[in-house]
């Protein structure tokens, strides 16, 4: 997500400082001010924030449906630390605006498109209890900083985001990148966790970047805004599109309902984003999946070619 936001900013002629840690910035092109920083340390957070007018905090750790035991904390503790420290660093450095990501995992269970004001109307989905409440708390922390400082905060709640440069690790990646990789590797039978009837609101990362820029510019009021596609699709439909675009149409699809999945339905209401930001998603699911598959196919091919040349 951060790399796409950085590129969208640079296309507008903005000087962009990018923090990197453990892995390089996965961009196709661009002249960025790179800053080696471990955002779990206060000193590095302040160094990254110094001299910056606007901060987009896209660093974080994510979990996956198959994580067990203490592994689930890997997506909770670092996010609490990094976000708290970056809010403090932005405040100390005198940043004018700060974009913070909330999460649709904080919403209660609902079969309809959820609106922003429904976040606190009930408990989180049990499977999201730890992660969802962590995201809820960070929104409250953002409200505190917004009220106590001169730094204005835009609060965005993205839905399920996918696209280029995602994590395609089948064990730790989210559903779309994991399915894309396995489809291109021609797995057969093609086993999918869950019943296939689970409904998600998938948003292409390019649309997310556009929504984030609009939010920081037009609505840094620390009032949450859903950024999503605004329409649900079943996992079965996603699988069928991916297999078709990956030229793996003859694979035998097997849905394994005994495996852990997540909330049965998650779709967000995007009326507020349309009304306040003028946000409308531009990339359809089919177009986005095709772009993601083509990018991954091309990228993996280049990596394999480089490996072959170094032998």
- Band of pLDDT at residue 304, cut at 50, 70 and 90: very low
| Predicted local confidence at residue 174, as pLDDT | 87
Residue 41 has pLDDT above 60, yes or no: yes
Mean per-residue pLDDT, 109-121: 97
Mean per-residue pLDDT, 199-211: 97
Number of domains in the chain: 1
For residue range 161-183, list pLDDT tens digits in order: 999 999 898 777 789 999 999 99
| Predicted local confidence at residue 309, as pLDDT | 46
| Predicted local confidence at residue 263, as pLDDT | 92
| Predicted local confidence at residue 248, as pLDDT | 96
| Predicted local confidence at residue 307, as pLDDT | 47
Where do we find the tokens 């499977």?
127
% residues pLDDT > 70 (the chain)? 92
Backbone angles phi, psi at 146, to 5 degrees: -60, -40
| Predicted local confidence at residue 7, as pLDDT | 92
Mean per-residue pLDDT, 132-155: 97
Residue 202 has pLDDT above 90, yes or no: yes
Mean per-residue pLDDT, 34-47: 96
Residue 311 has pLDDT above 80, yes or no: no
- Token pair listed for 19: 């923090």
Mean pLDDT, rounded, of the chain: 91
- Band of pLDDT at residue 23, cut at 50, 70 and 90: confident
Where do we find the tokens 């309902």?
257
| Predicted local confidence at residue 133, as pLDDT | 96
Which segment of 19-23, 142-146, 266-270, 272-276 scores lowest on mean pLDDT?
19-23
Residue 310 has pLDDT above 50, yes or no: no
| Predicted local confidence at residue 19, as pLDDT | 93
- Domain of residue 34, CATH code: 3.40.50.720
User: Domain of 281?
Assistant: 2-309
Q: Work out whether the CA dihedral 7, 9, 14, 16 comes out positive or negative.
A: negative
Count of beta carbons in the 10 Å neighbourhood of residue 33 = 11
| Predicted local confidence at residue 60, as pLDDT | 85
Q: Which helix (H) or strand (E) holds 200?
A: strand 199-200
| Predicted local confidence at residue 302, as pLDDT | 55
| Predicted local confidence at residue 28, as pLDDT | 56
How far apart are the C-alpha atoms of 108 and 114, rounded to whole Å? Answer: 9
Is residue 37 within 8 A of residue 57, CB to CB? The reply is no
How far apart are the C-alpha atoms of 203 and 279, rounded to whole Å? Answer: 13
Residue 66 has pLDDT above 70, yes or no: no
| Predicted local confidence at residue 300, as pLDDT | 80
């Amino acid at each position: 997500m951060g790399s796409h936001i950085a590129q969208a900013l640079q296309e507008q002629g903005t000087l962009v400082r990018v923090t990197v840690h453990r892995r390089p910035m996965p961009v196709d092109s661009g002249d960025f001010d790179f800053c080696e920083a471990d955002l779990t340390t206060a000193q590095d957070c302040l160094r990254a924030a110094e001299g910056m007018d606007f901060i987009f905090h896209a660093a974080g750790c994510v979990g996956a449906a198959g994580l067990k035991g203490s592994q689930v904390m890997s997506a909770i503790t670092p996010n609490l630390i990094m976000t708290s420290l970056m809010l403090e660093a932005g405040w100390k450095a005198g940043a004018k605006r700060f974009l913070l990501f909330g999460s649709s995992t904080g919403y209660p269970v609902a079969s309809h498109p959820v609106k922003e004001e429904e976040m606190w109307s009930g408990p989180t989905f049990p499977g999201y209890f730890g992660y969802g409440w962590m995201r809820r708390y960070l929104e409250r922390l953002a409200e505190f900083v917004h009220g106590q400082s001169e730094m204005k905060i835009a609060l965005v709640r993205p839905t399920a985001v996918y696209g280029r440069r995602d994590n395609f690790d089948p064990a730790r990646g989210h559903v779309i990148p994991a399915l894309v990789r396995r489809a291109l590797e021609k797995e057969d039978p093609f086993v999918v966790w869950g019943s296939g009837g689970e409904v998600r609101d998938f948003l292409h990362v390019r649309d997310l970047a556009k929504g984030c820029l609009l939010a920081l510019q037009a609505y840094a009021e620390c009032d949450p805004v859903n950024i999503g596609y605004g329409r649900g699709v079943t996992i079965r439909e996603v699988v069928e599109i991916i297999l078709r675009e990956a030229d793996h149409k003859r694979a035998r699809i097997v849905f394994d309902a005994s495996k852990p999945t997540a909330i049965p339905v998650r779709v967000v209401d995007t009326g507020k984003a349309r009304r306040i930001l003028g946000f409308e998603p531009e990339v359809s699911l089919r177009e986005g999946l095709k772009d993601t598959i083509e990018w991954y196919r091309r990228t993996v091919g280049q990596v394999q070619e480089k490996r072959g040349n170094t032998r």
